[in-house]
Structure 1
Amino acid sequence: MKMTGNTIFITGGGTGIGQGLAKAFHGLGNKVIIAGRRKAPLMETAEACPGMDCHEIDMRDPASIARVAEWLVKHHPRLNVLINNAGIMSGDKTGSVMDDQKTLATVETNLLGPMRMTSALIEHLKTRPEAAVVNVTSGLAFTPLAHSAVYSATKAALHSWTLSLRVRLKGTSVRALEIAPPWVQTDLMGGRDEPRAMKLDAFIKETMEKFASGADEILVDRVRMLRDNPGPDEWAFVEKFNGMMAL
């Protein structure tokens, strides 16, 4: 993906990884529009980056996604990059009685949200000479964390869907890319001060370097042990990993 001259829309762009990517791409001179549920962090981020735009969105609501997509095409017709970053994570009780509302919220936000957002914008993106859909998954897409089984499953599904999207977009001007972060110091699951997690600034710096390399999968070195695990003997590492991460 080219690193400059883009008009980029980032969901979940007011905090965490989304905010970090927004600031990094803005710093390279791209036009960046961020969106999320909460107005205050969106405004704070945009005000700190002159020229950045923002819009509220509910990734669980198809009507909200449709309205924002229509607004984007009307007010930012040069839009050529969609970064599906918005996501939620919580612990769950897989193996016991599940909280159905929490499960539904996670699936709608993390999986259906990116699918719907992409569907709403894909035909417009095809009109741009160099375009991309970037899905933010997780190292847990490849090695699940049993404490957050639903989150891990949504990210595995989004990875699979990204592979299919890449096949279906062959021959168009749109690339399907994937960022699979490791554990990063963000507010997700209260990890901002977690010493075992990767510092956000370091993650963004390395991720931008990987973007510039032209790879389809943007993988910082720290996530590779999770990414490389799937295979016929994957259970052994899944068991070991979850033993290390036991809360």
Structure 2
Amino acid sequence: MRSVLVLPTYNESENIEPFLRAVREASPDTDIVVVDDNSPDGTGLVADRLAEELGRIDVLHRPGKAGLGSAYRAGFNEVLGGSYDIVISMDADFSHDPNLIPDFVQLVIDGADIVIGSRYVTGGGTTDWPVRRQLLSRWGNAYTRSILGVAARDCTSGYRAYRATSLAKIDPTSTSAEGYAFLTELVRRMTREGASVVETPIIFRDRTRGKSKMSGRIIVESMLLVTRWGMGDRFKRLVGRN
């Protein structure tokens, strides 16, 4: 089964070269599509150079920063409908361990439609996070799971592998969410389609180079959107009963 990694980047010049080399070493048969939002620090140019050196790397240059969801939509649009069987997503800052890619691929081969690298199943966790951030993340995921009625314990994890046909079925290019709500939107849609969701434990490591894109505004917007989805779903169910 052919696999491809879709990798959104913005100002990751300190990480992109060692990261791409680590991915190629960990999973030599996985192609890579870098989606760069015209990073001012030259991330896209570094990726271009590595593409020439390593091969089987395409770099999609976008005109400017448009959000995580927009970047993934563009990347998925590039790879779905082609010859790939498995689509992988992850962060480019080494928060996610590239050495686990073959394990994710194998879980899809074994039957999963979506594999989520989960911090909140047995064996998973985070490092270098203050207690406040850990509690906020756990509460946010528990709230999301409850209001949306999904089984996944880590709806906002970006380390994933999708069966390409199952991802195409929900048409991710038709989504509208940005930030980490986009990741939740995919879980919600795939769950509603009856997809097989498998969570595998990961240890999330905070970045050591570069600046995090997470902000309080992104968290608030994500929670508001999740609440709107949840209330809308419940209203539709009530209407359907009458």
Range into which the TM-score falls when normalised by the shorter chain: 0.3 to 0.5
Give the TM-score normalised by the residue count of structure 2: 0.39
What TM-score do the two structures reach when normalised by structure 1?
0.39
